[in-house]
Amino acid sequence: MTNDSLLEKISSPADIKNMSVKELERLAGEIRERIVETVAQNGGHLASNLGVVELTLAIHSVFNTPKDKIIWDVGHQCYAHKMITGRCAEINTIRTENGLSGFPKRNESPYDCFDTGHSSTSISAALGIACAEEMKNSGACTIAVIGDGALGGGLAYEGLNNAGRSGKKLIVILNDNKMSISHNVGSMARTLSRMRIRPGYIRAKTKVHRFEKVPLVGKPVTSGMKHVKDWMRDEFFGQKNNLFEQFGFTYYGPYDGHNIEQLQVALRAAKRKNSPVLIHVCTKKGKGYGYAESDPKSFHGVSAFDVETGEPRSAGEGYSNIFGRKMCEIAMTEKRLCAITAAMSIGTGLSAFSKKFKDRFYDVGIAEEHAITFASGLAANGMLPVFAVYSTFLQRGYDQILHDAALQNLHIVLCIDRAGIVGEDGETHQGIYDVAFLRTIPNVTVYSPSSFIELNAALEKALFSTEGVAAVRYPRGGELYMPEDYKFTGKPFSTYGNEDAKILIVTYGREFSQACFAKKKLAAHGIDVCILKINTILPLPIGTLMKAKQFENVYFFEEGVRTGGLGEYFGFCLYQTGFKGKFHLTALNGFVPQAKTKSALHKAGLDSKMIEIKITNDVSIGGKKDAIKKKTGSDGV
């Protein structure tokens, strides 16, 4: 940025209130440049943020935040908002440890009035906030910005239904970029497509709104022109009342989401209304960065990349890729196999499947609950459905897994990607709860592979050797260290190391690699440990308890939550067998903040170094106690 940079002069939304449209357009360019630079360095959500820059500026130039409240949905569209609200100097820290979050956070700024990480929550939250503002008689406006496919989620319609019925002062801005992560699907997408009309209508409607402000004659004339506006709507929409008007909203739009002047006119008109208004704006995802404009799917959420070439700085095989290839391989011979995604075909590795087996691929949009019940319907009629979903998003489908799949003992397969700590996306996206909530549901089998070979084997088992609900959970990224002398047997559990040792480490999934590293380091200290690796984690194999019972000290390390997790259950069951030794559990307590996965594991005591330290310290303390007991005839307490 140069000395005459507008962006460097912005410390709050007040600084853009008196800017001309030309200045705001120039500022938009500077913001885009900074977003591209930052995401190229830190990774993050690129295309979605580039698409809402003008919309962000228009909102902040018209409304008086933080008194007026903005809820961003999906929250990953908030980068420009953060830069305008006093956080520009820190934007280079976004998604880093102790830095700015990639999502709105109430504890980060008064301009972030509601935390949003998952989609489709904004309208419900905004209605609650609007009702509270009315009770406080504050006169504040509440604005929900919903886009990136979030209108495909069922909660959004529950919010629309109640907000429209309420008659409260509420503004919903539909950021229609034709996309979620992948292209939008379903009837709503087709409805919005029909409502995106040619620029002539937008210009005409903008002029009508402007004329309303002319003293004395403006409002009477425009009121008399209502039949003309109705004709224009019928001519271009082919319907008397659109969906949003039927919900009880006054509908404005569609508008060019990159035309600041048009947006300001619409926002000011909505601000004057004392009832629910929906403003439909059309934006281009990836706007201003060629690679993101031409391929918004790939540039939705990215790792660090080269700005000049658009190429990622590091690339390699990951569990998602291996899963996708195995699905294609199985589908060649298994004609019942169907793949389902909730707007995540690229992220879950199903892109190739979607092209090779179009008639058996279903993208349901951001609708995880629907995906699970839809899969249950397929299974009830003889198909073999696989729903590939990130762990954090599977949380939304708990009732459907319980009620629609497990209760009927229907055979569906959940392929749970991003299981465990995911790093920079932070609290809302950590995949650390799935084991705990799946453990409460009968008729569920869960496999937790630790390598690519094990993933392929687990998928085969889940599909062809398991009844009821089967799940395969695997982490983000690629394989970690696996000792050369460890051989995968395909059995529910296996041991690695000397079974006559006094210390046993129990774990599963990616954490097995950390345990193996620690075992190697502990051996250098003269401490011999054995590792019990659980491959089928639910239901818990009874043999694991019998194996663990023979050790004096059992350490369970789990990359999941402590309360309700597998480790807690394992410890309970172990003592039920009459185990006389000591059980030590290390798992995650509370929400896990954003940080690189390596750092998060270390802080949680789950990396190899912390495993080594814990066991070494315990052995050292135990040795001292034994020495005291031998010398004094007591335990020294």
Catalytic residues, by residue number, are 285, 368, 396
DSSP three-state, residue 113? coil
Give the pairing of strands 171-176 and 277-282.
parallel
In this structure, what token pair is assigned to residue 575? 């003592």
The length of the chain is 637
Q: Which residues pair with 584 in a beta bridge?
A: 555
Distance CA 371, CA 400 (A): 9
DSSP secondary structure letter of residue 92? G
Distance CA 504, CA 117 (A): 38
Distance CA 36, CA 228 (A): 43
**Is there a cis peptide before residue 296, judged by omega within 30 degrees of 0?**
no
Q: Which residue has the tokens 């980060």?
A: 108
Phi/psi-derived region of residue 343, left when phi > 0, alpha when psi is between -120 and 50, beta in every other case = left
**Burial status of residue 218 (CB atoms within 10 A of its CB: 0-12, 13-18, 19 or more):** middle
Distance CA 112, CA 106 (A): 5
Give φ, ψ of 277 to 5 degrees.
-130, 140
Q: Which residue has the tokens 């508008």?
A: 255
Q: Which residues pair with 445 in a beta bridge?
A: 470
- Separation of CA 562 from chain center: 22
In this structure, what token pair is assigned to residue 259? 């035309």
| 87 and 295 Cβ atoms separated by less than 8 Å | no
Q: Which residue has the tokens 């934006």?
A: 283
In this structure, what token pair is assigned to residue 400? 């459907």
Distance CA 142, CA 96 (A): 30
Give φ, ψ of 126 to 5 degrees.
-65, -40
For the chain, the distance separating the N- and C-terminal CA atoms, rounded to the nearest angstrom, is 65
> Going by C-beta distance under 8 Å and a sequence separation of 6 or more, which residues neighbour residue 55?
145, 173, 175, 257, 263, 281, 283
In this structure, what token pair is assigned to residue 79? 């980068």
C-beta neighbour count of 407 within 10 angstroms: 15
Q: Which residues pair with 471 in a beta bridge?
A: 414, 446
